[in-house]
Structure 1
């Protein structure tokens, strides 16, 4: 029947176009059929094959000694199909890699290749910011937001003042389940801006959204909504450009146990394009700055946790990045080496933006030009540490150790409020009273009473300003109360 050859020919072409294994195996069969010798059944002698010549690429092979014309494709056709397969599957892999969602990285729109920005024609930063500002212009700040947080949001959305880091309503929501979906809001409309030479210290409990925020900035996670601009480049559209200007010290060290510290630095210097004549200087200087020189030629598999953190921080600074993200960089360090690292960070931030998360209040207070406190994914307070202490702190912390007599603490609890009516008892432990005094009013009278000790009730006393840790605990507790109500 005339229809069967046509159908068979069509099927052969379709299979050949999209199944590279078929083409490869058919090529192998065609070549070996002509090249491989055989044994003569009559004489038992081995007879050499005809060999496969270049012209044989264009001849239809014989099947069982018979030529089937166009039903059996010539070897050159299979070779052409292999080349087309390579191009087709490579393009498909590139396309799916860009659009299929996964746990890490960014997913582009289905028609991303039609966007001129993908091919290098970037829209101006101002146009991108105006588009974002228009999208969020109708959002009214929550009535419970702190005034500094509202002011920071307005600063982040103010297009007239250029900033090196601009985060605009960045949001990340995780969803679980296929039919009945449940969601968790990890980062809730975060707005923040920072200029060159500034270090922003992020404080928050575990799960507050610090690492999630940083992961969205360096491209490990895709925001649910909102955007962030780093030197004018959007994390949605220009992540490749951002990564050229960024250094990252992740929360967990990513090191090769079989390489030394020097080899790590040389490896990443090569990846970042550091000139070869500057690599030796870079190795010496960076290792000296964080006091790793004695262990320069030791494999990192033998390093302690603090040593690995110092090496990870060095790697983040290679290539003169314009912005550095440090996720708890001093975890596991002893106080001595931590001080060296602080000095290095303070020196390195000149002309750059550093976003640093930490659980150490002293670190945030020492390094942070701006301290941002997050709770349950929201920014609850922001500003210099001295402003946060003045605004949210209780003023001064007065601790007094009573005499060993049982009635001494009872008498002091009656006397202190008479001298300083605004004093509030915060804690009482083993004959030690701790008061919060909001201002200096009458505080000198209380100090005079402690010094004179007319009733013999005071064993020792001390006074300090409210610490950043107390401010942090107060802000977290306040945020949790707001969530419950």
Structure 2
């Protein structure tokens, strides 16, 4: 315990101390760190294994291009195999080489017979066919029409469905182009193989009327194989409506949702000819999107829309120029393509969800660490020993940033090593900028959120709910908004203001580019891609960067207001005049407290007058001055206000140890908490080394030591590491630091037997108390507060601790609370008895015993039938004696010292022994404990009466 006067530690000294402590703390929690780092590694390994299984499944023969043996050897084995689309199923066709794609007749999307529109209770128009046609499968397929010119509309519609013509076998596709062929089958992602020709269902031929046996078959060539396809006649029915609103209403009512058995009335298409006439062709077309591919991004060409457009366009041309004029749509044909391998990059597909969980899981880790320091009051403990907000923020933020950066670097590095396309295909510099900005934003949000939590478990649970909730909402809600091109971009930006959705959007973009790049064999995202209109990476980088700066500022402001207890406009204090180191003069409010002052005991009133006089002296040198300090807790649940401290005035000089005695709940701890900055006074104030506790606690902390009532220690740091940290905060360095730490450990009996290097979480309660005392005294603080420092100590350790405190008080002011009268008498120069928030008396132990203990305590034990004789004996010795205890023959009496001589007491007892049996007797002077009990009882009785 250094006795040299030290200057307050500098910014960088404080930063160095906190950094060393954090590094040590991190080393102690290595297992937790390993578990944290293993989580993304395990997840990546899981993705790799899933990708391997997916690749193995996709590479099965059933998914590869179909093959057949065209030449066998003598043993029946195959010597030559030929693979191609003609040997493949519909699912296999996409992997086959197609040097010369087949030509397919263009088809309409025609409802299956059971789903065609008929008259129902919700489609009641009389021109719809009767529902009985469904029993025979003869329902017509309906087209709805409207427009300004009904004559033109119906005329065009009359040319849409032509009668079956003779097929030209030499040019079958040209012949079929005159017919309105369609299918009820669902479209696929590609037209290499038209599913209508590979299903067991017929295609439908739309005609004005269907005669008996009006169907036909036609050949289709697939490689070397010819397929005979049946075409079955279906009546095409066109119905006129007065407006597009009527059509829209009927389409909506008849829409079939999924496999619903209720809404089954489907219509081929609807046409609004608008203002079309003989010189102007303008048409709006409704089409049925029920049959689009499940991926939701199939182009219109794959939904059989082009044939619908050609049908009405050809009919319009024939309406103007006659049936001989035709604009035929002969066939559709894909471009040639080489053989391809079925690929599915699982990591890019699931990366946005899984990697969101991986990255956001750092948030509850940082949040829990910050809240832990707040819950255990370790933050305020560090402040009370001189750690400023600037070094705390800089080191804590940098510490979490480095940890997060190492975590992310390992995550990306390991993913790249095992070949995850999500990492290897996208530009690493883009990934670095994206991850770096986000982890900074995440740390800033954790600092902001920590100000509103006081319990680690609550913060951790809510943090992990946020982790999984963000991933699930991103994957099953936000992603659909991103894919929906009709969703307003402004709302996307609003949603991205939530950092979790910004993270998900960035990962979604990276995953989309890597998925596409892997599928077509190109690179992933590059910087040039950020200028693409569909790329959202640039906007979220801007959003996150701006949000990061704003959140850091707001978090620091909230921390100063909520955690440090500063005013809402604390940042304006720099523009004010710097505080003087002298005491402020007392305000005129003292006139208002005269009634209260007159009720105080003379010694307490004298102390108050002393404080008032010292406040008027600019050169006052008292270490501590409490000026009418009060603390009132507001009433709750119908209970009245609780007065914890009632106008305390107290002056302590340097080198004085002041002891506060009082029963539990008297307000001692509330007084200490106000002095050390844990709580704010309700009124009044106190000055420590000339600085106001309401305004200048940061300056007070530099010269203050605290031993709180409850030990505020890091469970994983050793006793030596605690003292090294707090010693550095007090500007101890090098050999002086090592010496001070060793002396502190020896003074509190924690040096020998390896105890100093044992983690504090494994200390007994008494060992923790001794360490707390050593922390409060290291670095030569000028003012020390000790709240029941010897609680839980054995007698030997307690005496050793007393010797430490007695040596320490020589050049500093100490305020000590205790329930041990022996400790108070041994250590304290002056004592104050505190009852129900008020100071009842003040003085040194001898003065208090003389003032409140001017009597002897006489005790005698006899048989119960001699109690009256004992009482008569005492009355003869002292007429004003007061019996204070009586039970089973044992009685205690208070004898005023001015009425009794000790020799007379001995003589009276000797005479009494000759008359009756005296089992035991004693005469004792008043103890400090008697004084305490007497003062406490009288004060409590007065408070009850008042």
Please report the TM-score for the alignment, with normalisation by the length of structure 2.
Answer: 0.44
Quickly say closer, same or farther: Cα 1:467–1:229, change in 2 above 3 A. Answer: same
How far has the Cα of 1:479 moved from its partner?
1.4
**3-state SS in 1 of match to 2:757:** coil
Q: In 2, Cα distance between the equivalents of 1:13 and 1:242?
A: 50
Q: What secondary structure is seen at the aligned counterpart in 1 of 2:810? A: coil
Residue aligning to 1:46: 521
**Mean alpha-carbon deviation: is it higher for 208-217 or for 134-143?**
134-143
Alpha carbons of 1:98 and 1:259: their partners in 2 closer, same or farther (altered >3 Å)? closer
Query: Matched residues in 2 for 1:391 and 1:449: separation?
Result: 28
Q: 1:169 aligns with which of 628, 643, 647?
A: 628
- Residue 606 of structure 2: aligned partner: 151
Structure 2 equivalent of residue 227 of structure 1: 685
Moved more, 186-195 or 90-99: 90-99
**Maintained 8 Å contact 2:856/2:925:** yes
Structure 1 pair 163–141 and aligned structure 2 pair: CA distance change class (3 A): farther
Q: Secondary structure at the match of 2:647?
A: strand
Partner residue of 2:791 out of 327, 331, 338: 331
* 1:203 equivalent in alignment to 2:656: no
The Cα shift of 1:392 comes to: 1.6
**How many Å apart are 1:203 and its aligned residue?**
0.8
Contact 1:395 1:466 in 2 (8 A): yes
Q: Paired residue for 1:140?
A: 594
CA distance in 2, matches of 1:181, 1:451: 54
Distance 1:337 1:39, change over 3 A: closer
Q: Any idea what SS the aligned residue of 2:634 has?
A: strand
Bigger drift between 364-373 and 253-262 goes to 253-262
Which residue of 1 is the match for residue 431 of structure 2? none
**Secondary structure at the residue paired with 2:801?**
helix
- SS state at 1:314 partner: helix
1:217 aligns with 2:657: no
What pairs with 1:50-129 in structure 2 (closer than 5 Å)? 51-52=526-527, 60-63=531-534, 75=538, 79-100=541-562, 106-116=564-574, 121-126=577-582, 129=584
1:198-224 CA deviation, whole Å, 9 max, x = no partner?
111111111111111111111111122
Q: Match of 1:385?
A: 845
Q: Tell whether the 8 Å contact from 1:197 to 1:350 is kept in structure 2 after alignment.
A: yes
The answer as to whether partners of 1:170 and 1:223 remain within 8 angstroms in 2 is: yes
Aligned twin of 1:5: none
Moved more, 385-394 or 16-25: 16-25
1:375-414 superposed matches below 5 A: 375-402=835-862, 408-414=866-872
Q: Contact conserved, 1:141 with 1:150, CA < 8 A, in 2?
A: no
8 Å CA contact 1:227–1:236 kept in 2: the answer is yes
Match of 2:644 in 1: 186
Q: Secondary structure at the match of 1:237?
A: coil
Alignment gaps of 5+ in structure 2: 1-487
Structure 1 residue 95, shift from structure 2 partner:
2.0
Shift of 1:23: 6.2
Counterparts in 2 of 1:156 and 1:83: CA distance versus 1, 3 Å: farther
1:50: how far off? 7.2
Larger CA deviation: 453-462 vs 341-350: 453-462
1:17 CA drift (Å): 11
User: Equivalents in 1 of 2:525, 2:782: separation in Å?
Assistant: 66
Cα distance, 1:430–1:97 mapped onto 2, change above 3 Å: same
What is the CA deviation profile of residues 137-184 of structure 1, one whole-angstrom value per residue up to 9, with x for unaligned ones?
432152431111111122223222431111112222222459x78421
Q: Secondary structure at the match of 1:342?
A: helix
- 1:68 maps to which residue? none
Q: Does 1:276 align with 2:741?
A: no
2:713 aligned with 1:259, yes or no?
Answer: no
Rate the CA distance shift 1:52–1:243 in 2: closer, same or farther, 3 A. same
Distance of 1:472 and 1:271 partners within structure 2: 39
- Structure 2 residue matching 1:380: 3-state secondary structure: strand
Tell me the distance in 2 between the aligned counterparts of 1:116 and 1:13. 41
> Can you list the C-alpha shifts for 1:29-70, whole angstroms capped at 9, x where unaligned?
77787x757359xxx7412357315xx77xx43239xxxxxx
Q: Which moved more, 1:463-472 or 1:427-436?
A: 427-436
Structure 2 CA distance for aligned equivalents of residues 89 and 300 of structure 1: 36
- Give the conservation status (yes or no) of the 8 Å contact 1:188–1:378: yes
Q: Distance in 1 between matches of 2:525 and 2:667?
A: 71
Distance 1:387 1:175 in 2: 37
Give per-residue Cα distances to partners, 1:397-456, cap 9 Å, x unaligned: 222344x5x654422311221232232222234434322122243324523424653662
Deviations 1:70-95 (A, max 9, x none): xx9x93x7645544322222221222
Partners of 1:407 and 1:31 lie apart in 2 by 99
* Separation of aligned partners in 2, 1:153 and 1:61: 77
Task: Provide the secondary structure at the position in 1 that maps to 2:722.
Answer: helix
- The number of residue pairs the alignment matches comes to 449
- 2:698 counterpart of 1:240: yes
| Bigger strand share | 1
Q: 1:137 to 1:232 in 2, by over 3 A?
A: farther
Contact 1:287 1:296 in 2 (8 A): yes
User: Structure 2: how far apart are the matches of 1:205 and 1:361?
Assistant: 12
Q: Which moved more, 1:419-428 or 1:345-354?
A: 419-428
Q: Partners in 1 of 2:557 and 2:720 — Cα distance?
A: 38
Q: Which has the higher helix share?
A: 2
- SS of 1:90's equivalent in the other structure is helix
Match of 2:599, SS state, is coil
CA shift for structure 1 position 384: 1.0
SS of structure 2 residue aligned to 1:359? coil
Bigger Rg, which one: 2
Mapped contact 1:401–1:432 kept (Cα < 8 A): yes
Alignment check: 8 A CA contact 1:39 1:47 kept:
yes
Q: Matched residue of 2:846: which SS? A: helix
Q: Return the offset for 1:366.
A: 1.3
Assess if the C-alpha contact under 8 Å between 2:603 and 2:843 holds in 1. Answer: yes
Task: Verify the 8 A CA contact 2:873 2:908 in the aligned structure 1.
Answer: no
Determine helix, strand or coil for the equivalent of 1:221.
coil
Question: How has the CA–CA distance of structure 1 residues 63 and 334 changed in structure 2, closer, same or farther, with 3 Å as cutoff?
Answer: closer
Matching residue of 2:260 = none
